[in-house]
Amino acid sequence: MFEMTNTTKESFYFILTGIPGFEASHIRISIPFCCLYTISILGNTTILNVIRTEPSLRQPMYLFLSMLALTDLGLTLTTLPTVMQLLWFNICEISFEACFAQVFFIHTFSFMESSVLLAMSFDHYVAICRPLHYATILTSEVIGKIGLAIICRCVLAVLPSLFLLKCLPFCRSHLLSHSYCLHQDMIRLVCGDIRFNSWYGFALVLLIIVMDPLLIVLSYAMILKSVFRIASLVERLRALNNCLSHILAVLVLYVPMVGVSMTHRFAKHASPLVHVIMANIYLLAPPVMNPIIYSVKTKHIRHGIMRLLSQRNTH
């Protein structure tokens, strides 16, 4: 077995994997992938355009929604090049530096998705539990600081793991399990001691993947406590309906995330196809489903899209 030293890393390539067992059908398989990427790009850019052009949507809820759309767009554009070039042109090689860049953006945008959903749950909490102070708590300056904090949190969380991984020697075998680069996939190819990397990864999971949903659940517990104090049933249902889009977005992110974790933990010897399908669902479900959820369930977004389409038709 040979090791790749730092001097040879510049000329080192990883080999990406398509859909195991269906290599001959990659062109046909590319059709649903192409449709999903198109829905994600069109859906998220439409939501961003509606929020940008509608003065009535310059509210905290919609500013957080624009952060979510930008994150989803970033995640989509990060995986699209390698996935589609592999399915369309059978280009499997990716350089060492390009692979590390893709790992950085995939994990940063994934963590940002979780962080933005946490911020949105805080927005719902303030709107329902402290409505009289909503405008003074969530000012434009505060929202800007929250956005900056999310970026700093996620970038600073991902960078150390990449630096740690880059310092380790890689084995001659450089076959990855997916059509994009993931940290947990690359670290399997390392020849050196990865105990520190594993502990750092575990701390990262606790800090973001575990803490964020727990805080979201806590915010909804406080929201429910406040909602059940409302005497009118109609007002209760209206308050809960305002949270429905966010609850669905949380489920779309965390259910596949738990599924991927459970598969890696308890189904290590399962077919590679199972791992590939779960990873693709985890990375594609939120960017595809979030614009659909918010377009269908949010009246102001839906009306904004209708106005945008009618303006284009008149031109």
What pLDDT, on a 0 to 100 scale, did the predictor assign at position 7?
43
Q: What sign does the CA torsion over 54, 67, 264, 98 have?
A: positive
Q: Tell whether 3 is covered by a domain.
A: no
What pLDDT, on a 0 to 100 scale, did the predictor assign at position 164?
87
Q: Which domain holds residue 168?
A: 13-302
Select from 65, 50, 64 the least CA-distant residue to 290. Answer: 65
| Residue at token pair 């003074």 | 136
CB half-sphere exposure, 144, CA atoms < 13 A: 4
Residue 209: both structure tokens together: 């993947």
Q: Running DSSP on this structure, what letter comes out for residue 15?
A: E
Which residues of the chain, if any, have pLDDT below 50?
1-3, 6-7
Rounded CA gap, 17 and 279, in Å?
13
What pLDDT, on a 0 to 100 scale, did the predictor assign at position 8?
53
**In the chain, how many H helices and how many E strands?**
11, 4
What pLDDT, on a 0 to 100 scale, did the predictor assign at position 1?
41
Rounded CA gap, 252 and 248, in Å?
6
- Radius of gyration, alpha carbons of the chain: 21
CATH number at residue 260: 1.20.1070.10
| Residue at token pair 């505060």 | 142
Q: Tell whether 93 is covered by a domain.
A: yes
Residue 171 phi, psi (nearest 5): -75, 165
Helix, strand, or coil (residue 86) = helix
Q: Tell whether 225 is covered by a domain.
A: yes
What pLDDT, on a 0 to 100 scale, did the predictor assign at position 171?
74
Q: Tell whether 161 is covered by a domain.
A: yes
Residue 293: both structure tokens together: 């959820």
Considering its fold, how many domains does the chain have in total?
Answer: 1
Q: Tell whether 42 is covered by a domain.
A: yes
What pLDDT, on a 0 to 100 scale, did the predictor assign at position 100?
93
Each residue of 210-219: pLDDT tens digit? 999 999 999 9
| Residue at token pair 């399962």 | 270
Q: Tell whether 55 is covered by a domain.
A: yes
Q: Tell whether 307 is covered by a domain.
A: no
Each residue of 81-140: pLDDT tens digit? 999 999 999 999 999 899 999 999 999 999 999 999 999 999 999 999 998 999 999 999
